[in-house]
Structure 1
Amino acid sequence: MKKYKWLIILFNLILLLGYFNYSVIKKEDLLKNGQLILLELAPVDPRSLMQGDYMSLRYAIVNTIGTEGILKRGYCVVTLDKNGVAHRGRFQENKTPLKAGEYLINYTSDDWNVNIGAESFFFQEGHAKKYETAAYGGIKIDGNGNSLLIGLYDKNLKKIN
């Protein structure tokens, strides 16, 4: 019985490590091959005493809508202007219909908010001044609507390093 206990623990550990590595590989692929989209930021307070310096992100394209009538999960369909800045088209339940030039971003909603990506951007303590000029959040998306925040951009569409 003791031998089986260790085999079960080892099997679960291998399974967990396999899943973790798979998710890391998917994120790396998204970083490398994803479509860059800039989402205009709505102003928020960038400070947390417990977590250090961070900026709470709220995106302007979902700032003007309520959650009434929106499904709990789905896709925010956006179009891009010539600079790569996203403009909201609509919310839908499925990946289709999707017209040429439209992109999907997964969203979730609760009774108060619609979330379309990373809600926080953490940075090194003491660098808050540098990020105060942030006007856009840069995300990479794939064809399935998965998104990954890669940084913040200023009003001139330059990445803030």
Structure 2
Amino acid sequence: MKKYKWIIIFLNLILLLVYFNYSIAKKEELLTDGQLVLLELAPIDPRSLMQGDYMALRYKISEDIYSENIPKRGYCVVRLDSSGIAHKIRFQKNLTPLNDREFLIEYTSPDKWNVNIGAESFFFQEGQAEKYEK
């Protein structure tokens, strides 16, 4: 029995390392081959005494959405304008089909009033708030 315990632990460790390496490879591939997409921010002004200075991010493309009409998980299809800023085209559940110059951003919808697209907060050094106030 003791022998099997160590084999199971070793196999789990190998699986964990394979998963981490796969995750790192996917992120490296995105950095190498990915397209820069800028998302316009909507105004919001939080401050946390426990965590320091940060900015809660609310994206313009996730505004005015009643998410009962869209899947809980899926992809937001965006098209870039001449400045490289993404504009929402539609929501879809699958990766395809895409039209010319359209890109996918994965989203989750925890409830019918919120759609989470990417990072929801950005932390910065204390005293640097003026830099991000625009």
Assess same fold via TM > 0.5: yes
Amino acid at match of 1:36: L
Residues 114-133 of structure 1 correspond to what in structure 2 (within 5 A)?
114-133=115-134
DSSP 3-state at the match of 1:89: strand
Q: CA deviation at 1:114?
A: 0.9
Q: In the alignment, which residue of structure 1 is the partner of 2:34?
A: 34
Amino acid at match of 1:50: M
- Quote the sequence identity (%): 72
> Structure 1 pair 2/126, CA: closer, same or farther in 2 (3 Å)?
farther
DSSP 3-state at the match of 1:37: coil
TM-score with structure 1 length normalisation? 0.74
Q: CA deviation at 1:127?
A: 2.4
> Structure 1 pair 97/25, CA: closer, same or farther in 2 (3 Å)?
closer
Q: In the alignment, which residue of structure 2 is the partner of 1:57?
A: 57
Q: Give the Cα separation in 2 of the matches to 1:27 and 1:117.
A: 14
> Structure 1 pair 51/21, CA: closer, same or farther in 2 (3 Å)?
farther
Q: CA deviation at 1:19?
A: 0.7
Amino acid at match of 2:113: W
Which runs of 5 or more structure 2 residues have no equivalent in the other structure?
A: none
Amino acid at match of 1:78: V
Amino acid at match of 2:131: K
Give 1 or 2: higher strand fraction.
1
DSSP 3-state at the match of 1:99: coil
Q: In the alignment, which residue of structure 2 is the partner of 1:147?
A: none
Which runs of 5 or more structure 1 residues have no equivalent in the other structure?
A: 134-161
DSSP 3-state at the match of 1:39: coil
Q: Give the Cα separation in 1 of the matches to 2:99 and 2:7.
A: 51
Amino acid at match of 1:128: A
Count of residue pairs the alignment pairs up? 133
Q: In the alignment, which residue of structure 2 is the partner of 1:8?
A: 8
CA contact (8 A) 2:65 2:113 kept: no
